[in-house]
Amino acid sequence: MTVTIVGSQLGDEGKGGIVDVYGDAVDVVARYQGGDNAGHTVVFEGDEYKLSLVPSGAVRGKVGVLGNGCVVNPETLFEELDALRERGLDPDVRVAERAHAILPYHRVLDGLEEDVKSDDDLAAGTTGRGIGPTYEDKAGRRGIRIGDLLDAETLRTRLEYAVPQKRALVEDVYDLEIGGDVDTDAFDIEALFEQYREYGERLAEENMTVNCGAFLSDRLESGEDVMFEGAQGTSIDIDHGIYPYVTSSNPTAGAASVGTGVGPGVVGDGEVVGIVKAYLSRVGTGPLPTELGSVDGQTPDGGGRPGEDDLATYIRDEGGEYGTVTGRPRRVGWLDMPMLRHAARVSGFTGLAINHIDVLAGLDEVQVGHSYTLDGEELLTMPTTTERWGDCEANLRTFDGWDDVDWAAVAEEGYEAIPENARAYLDYIAAELDTPVYAVGVGPGREETVVVEDVY
Ligand code: IMP
């Protein structure tokens, strides 16, 4: 059977912890989209592992797969694998031959486009990992795939086509000088050929590349369980998110099929668990109707709730809301129910894992954005354009707060040990989404999760 893990908000919902809990019983953990923009933290036997590309299940001895829907920077891949090996682990990671490779010029172009966009407040606040430019090349049929790295002649042919275009983009569109303003090697066919051919050799030597769909189907047919690990979240999905402040892939559940090469029925027959953080956080620009306080350079003019800066700082610090990849402070806000209703519909959640209720502990009251008011009408789900979303005013509902308690003891005792007011909050979310709560995160460690429903 399969379990698909999907972020229901803006990323950073604490998916790694849930993947860790539910991943325990599976044999294979496969990522189906994104690349080294993910930034997940896994706590295992008291040690903390920060990963951005390698599926978090690999820390726990599962086979980790990067599906064809991923974009893979081989440099990051090998750095993460080497670091895990240095710490005594033996990760087994496979990479789809149909996945696209991130090249150094993708990272450079990511930065250049963000710079230009920032003049018009259009910058997505990307992680700078070259994700968007790599997916652009994939859609433009000029990408270089992992399978191409195994074949020197194909690799050279692909580079000879792509690189002159990238050079022209830098010189003629951005009006910059390669070698002066921009790193030469990133745009040098020979240097790229040598570097990526070596990556290909290492991938082959370590027997890491697979036909992803066939590999996973064989495993499933032999009775193994597979987890599909989504990265980022529904509201930064390129189709269903707050375009253009989105990532360039589909974190939503449908992509688990397309991004790994198994049929939609395989995903649909399994569980689809929506990961919810008990409040909101996000990195980057654009509107956020339930935002508390503001973050310089990210909250748009006139946005946020400047009077609530102290509350925002409290939640940010308690929740460690600083980017795993970039270290930037994240914007924070109350839970946004229209956003969750949208996410539950798009991915068809069968269950919810609600994280970080411990972060909100100690507040007198906790609020949620129950609905929006837009043009005088009440709206229960998100409008289709980000501009209209920015016009939405959140209608807040207030819940009594809950005390900070011994969360480790709560995790051991189970759901009934969760403070009553926090349970009222969880019950409200489950009822509004018509989806049961499968798990509740009460702290960062794997042990600090109350498992209500075992998905297997
Ligand atoms: P990119 O994925 O680097 O192209 O960035 C596009 C947008 O997605 C930016 O707003 C990023 O901050 C956001 N983003 C990308 N990855 C993550 C993530 O793992 N968590 C939260 N936000 C992310």
pLDDT digits (tens, 9 = 90+) for 36-80: 998 877 777 778 888 999 998 898 899 999 999 999 999 999 999
**209 lies in some domain:** no
Active-site entry in 20, 36, 40, 148 = 40
Q: Quick one: average pLDDT of 430-449?
A: 93
**How many Cβ atoms sit within 10 Å of the Cβ of residue 286?**
28
What whole-number distance in Å separates Cα of residue 132 and Cα of residue 113? 10
Bridge partners, 340 (sequence order) = none
pLDDT above 90 (res 276): yes
Q: Which two tokens stand for residue 69?
A: 């829907």
Displacement of CA 332 from its chain's centroid (Å) = 17
Sign of CA dihedral 145, 213, 19, 336: positive
**396 lies in some domain:** yes
Averaging pLDDT over each range in 44-48, 271-275, 451-455, which range is the top one? 271-275
Of 37, 56, 282, the one to substitute when testing ligand 1's pocket (max ligand atoms within 8 A of C-beta) is 37
Ligand 1: atom nearest CA of 246 is: 7
Distance 450 CA to ligand 1 centre (A): 28
For residues 357 and 441, membership in a common domain is answered with yes
Q: Whose CA is nearest to atom 11 of ligand 1?
A: 126
For residues 73 and 108, membership in a common domain is answered with no
Q: Does the CB atom of residue 135 touch ligand 1 within 6 A?
A: no
**211 lies in some domain:** no
For residues 296 and 436, membership in a common domain is answered with yes
Q: Which two tokens stand for residue 165?
A: 């275009």
Q: Return all residues near 232 (Cβ < 8 A) that are at least 6 apart.
A: 7, 11, 33, 34, 37, 38, 247, 249, 251
Distance 318 CA to ligand 1 centre (A): 22
**Complete DSSP assignment for 219-257:** HHHTT--EEEE--S-GGG-TTTSSTTSS-SS--STHHHH
Q: Does the CB atom of residue 2 touch ligand 1 within 6 A?
A: no
For residues 262 and 179, membership in a common domain is answered with no
Residue 153 in 3-state DSSP? helix
pLDDT tens readout for residues 182-234:
999 999 999 999 999 999 999 999 999 999 999 999 999 999 999 999 999 99
pLDDT above 90 (res 302): no
pLDDT tens readout for residues 348-382:
999 999 999 999 999 999 999 999 999 999 999 99
For residues 426 and 445, membership in a common domain is answered with yes
Query: Is 240 assigned a catalytic role?
Result: no
Cβ 152 vs Cβ 266: under 8 Å: no
Of 51, 72, 126, 246, the one to substitute when testing ligand 1's pocket (max ligand atoms within 8 A of C-beta) is 126
**In which band, very low, low, confident or very high, does the pLDDT at 444 lie, cut at 50, 70 and 90?**
confident
Average pLDDT, the chain: 94
pTM of the model: 0.95
Nearest to 447 by CA among 46, 84, 89, 91: 46
pLDDT tens readout for residues 374-420:
999 999 999 999 999 999 999 999 999 999 999 999 999 999 999 99
Q: Which two tokens stand for residue 16?
A: 């790694």
pLDDT, position 298 = 87
Q: Whose CA is nearest to atom 21 of ligand 1?
A: 11
For residues 324 and 371, membership in a common domain is answered with yes
For residues 316 and 419, membership in a common domain is answered with yes
For residues 182 and 327, membership in a common domain is answered with no
pLDDT above 90 (res 160): yes
Residue 139: domain span: 101-203
Q: Which two tokens stand for residue 264?
A: 């939609």
Q: Which two tokens stand for residue 80?
A: 């993460």
Number of domains in the chain: 3
Query: Is 40 assigned a catalytic role?
Result: yes
Residue that the structure tokens 């707050």 belong to: 242
pLDDT, position 123 = 75
For residues 144 and 263, membership in a common domain is answered with no
**In which band, very low, low, confident or very high, does the pLDDT at 119 lie, cut at 50, 70 and 90?**
confident
Nearest to 354 by CA among 276, 427, 452, 444: 276
% the chain with pLDDT above 70: 99
What whole-number distance in Å separates Cα of residue 180 and Cα of residue 370? 52
**343 lies in some domain:** yes
pLDDT above 70 (res 324): no
% the chain with pLDDT above 90: 82
Residue 55: cis peptide before it, omega within 30 degrees of 0: no
pLDDT above 70 (res 290): yes
Ligand 1: atom nearest CA of 129 is: 3
pLDDT above 70 (res 300): yes
pLDDT above 90 (res 328): no
Q: Whose CA is nearest to atom 2 of ligand 1?
A: 247
pLDDT, position 44 = 77
Q: Quick one: average pLDDT of 421-445?
A: 96
For residues 299 and 391, membership in a common domain is answered with yes
